[in-house]
Amino acid sequence: MSNCLKPKLESELREAPVLALAHVGDAVFELMVRTWLYTSGTTTAKKLHNNAVEIVSAKAQAVAAESLLPHFDEDEHLIFKRGRNTHVNSVPRGSSVSEYHAATGLETLFGYLYLSGKTDRLEALFMIIMEDK
């Protein structure tokens, strides 16, 4: 396994910049969405793109975060809150500040779980999000 894919120590990740974790989590979430769409039978590039854009929007991620809150353990909740409460410089059109903060919290948690090697937990949370889709 290459160095970039080795799980990081939790102590190291707890000190990592929140927006760095969210940056990784954003990519992880989008890749999981794209994979889920393809394996669920969405085959045309246009449908894959349109469906992915809808699911990875800040508004949709905020709804997903809300649905996951009861499923978080104590550490996951703290990491989510750390991401949600971080200062961001801009908010994309089409989402409110609170939606964007919730989306950043979700991305932070996904980045943390991925980088710490907790992929089983990452997948379990992702499937909770996708069960209604």
Q: How many other CB atoms sit within 10 Å of the CB of residue 122? A: 21
Q: For 51-102, how does the pLDDT look when each residue is reduced to its tens digit (9 = 90+)?
A: 999 999 999 999 999 999 999 999 999 999 999 999 888 888 889 999 999 9
Q: Is the pLDDT of residue 3 over 70?
A: no
Which of these, 132, 125, 115, lies nearest to 32 by C-alpha position? 125
Q: Answer whether 103's CB lies under 8 Å from 61's CB.
A: yes
CB environment 32-63: b (16+ within 10 A), e (fewer): bbbebbeeeebeeeeeeeebbeebbbbbbbbb
Q: Tens digit of pLDDT for each residue in 93-108?
A: 889 999 999 999 999 9
The whole model's pTM is what? 0.91
Note the pLDDT of residue 14.
82
Check: CB of residue 85 under 8 Å from CB of residue 63. Answer: no
Residues with a catalytic annotation lie at: 26
Domain parsing of the chain, residue ranges: 17-130
CATH topology of domain 17-130: Ribonuclease iii, N-terminal Endonuclease Domain; Chain A (1.10.1520)
